[in-house]
Chains A and B, each alone.
Chain A
C-alpha cells in the first residue's frame, strides 16, 4: 500500500539556520510529490510539487525539494529559516492516473528560535 513517512514529528531550528525536513514514500510507480504548509488555524498551502523532469524543484518562500528515486525520498530544504516559517509541514504523494487522492504524511512541526 502507498504510504508517506515523515520521521521527524517536531524540529526546532534557530532563525537563520538551514532546514531539512525529511519525507520518504512507498509507491510502486513514479509518484507525484507535494509539500504543503499549514500555519496555525489555517488551511494547507502548496509549497512545491514534483511531477517529472528536474529532480530539484523550487517552491515559494525560498523552499526547495529534491526527488531521489533511489532513496524514495523527497526532502524539503531551506538555506535560511525565518521566524514566519514556523508551521506544520506535510509531505504528500499523489498517485495520478484514475486515482487522484493524496496520501499525506503525519506532518513535521517546525519551531523557530529567535
Chain B
C-alpha cells in the first residue's frame, strides 16, 4: 500500500539555524499538507499546498516558514531561523482531493537547542 514518507525521522538543530524537512507524498495525490504537534499538545495545521502554490495557511505559518515542491515527488517545509518553540513533531500529509482523506507520514521530530 502506498504511503507518505518523511526524512529525517529526527533532526536536531541550533536556534537560529535553517532546517528543511522533507516529505514524499503518495504519488497520485494532488494536495499536500504540513501539520505540527508540540509535545503533549494537539496536532495543528500549518499549511496546505496545491498546484504549486499555498492554498491555505494558519497563523502559525509566518514568514519563517516556507514550502516547496522542488520536483515531481518531494514536498519540503523550510524553517528559516529556528526558535526553541519550533521544537515539535512535524507531519506531512497528502490527499487526492481537498475534501478527501489525508494520509499522514510518520513525522519528523525537530529539536531546537
Query: What residues of chain A have their CB less than 8 Å away from a CB belonging to chain B?
Result: 32, 34, 36, 42-46, 49, 51, 90, 92, 94, 96-107
| Bound Cα distance from A103 to B56, whole angstroms | 13
- Is residue B107 within 8 Å, beta carbon to beta carbon, of the partner chain? yes
Least distance between B80 CB and chain A CB atoms (Å):
22
Contacts A100-B56, A102-B102: A43 and B41 contacting too (C-beta < 8 A)? no
Residue-wise interface mask of B (32-71) relative to A, using a CB-CB cutoff of 8 A (1 in contact, 0 not): 0101000001111100100000011010000000000000
Name B's interface SS: strand
User: Can you list 20 residue pairs at the A/B interface with Cβ under 8 Å?
Assistant: A32-B99, A36-B104, A42-B106, A43-B6, A43-B91, A43-B104, A43-B106, A44-B43, A45-B104, A46-B101, A46-B104, A94-B99, A96-B99, A99-B98, A100-B31, A100-B99, A102-B35, A102-B102, A106-B41, A107-B42
| Bound Cα distance from A49 to B35, whole angstroms | 19
Chain B residues near A94 (CB, 8 Å)?
99, 102
Question: Judging by beta carbons under 8 Å apart, are A106 and B45 in contact?
Answer: no
Known: A43-B4, A100-B33, A100-B55. 12 other contacts (CB 8 A): A43-B6, A44-B91, A44-B104, A97-B98, A98-B56, A99-B56, A100-B56, A102-B35, A103-B45, A104-B43, A104-B44, A106-B42
| Bound Cα distance from A46 to B48, whole angstroms | 19
**Contact-residue bracket for chain B:** 20 to 34
| Bound Cα distance from A101 to B58, whole angstroms | 9
- Give the residue name and chain of the B residue nearest to A90 (CB): B43
- Is residue B95 within 8 Å, beta carbon to beta carbon, of the partner chain? yes
Least distance between B41 CB and chain A CB atoms (Å):
7
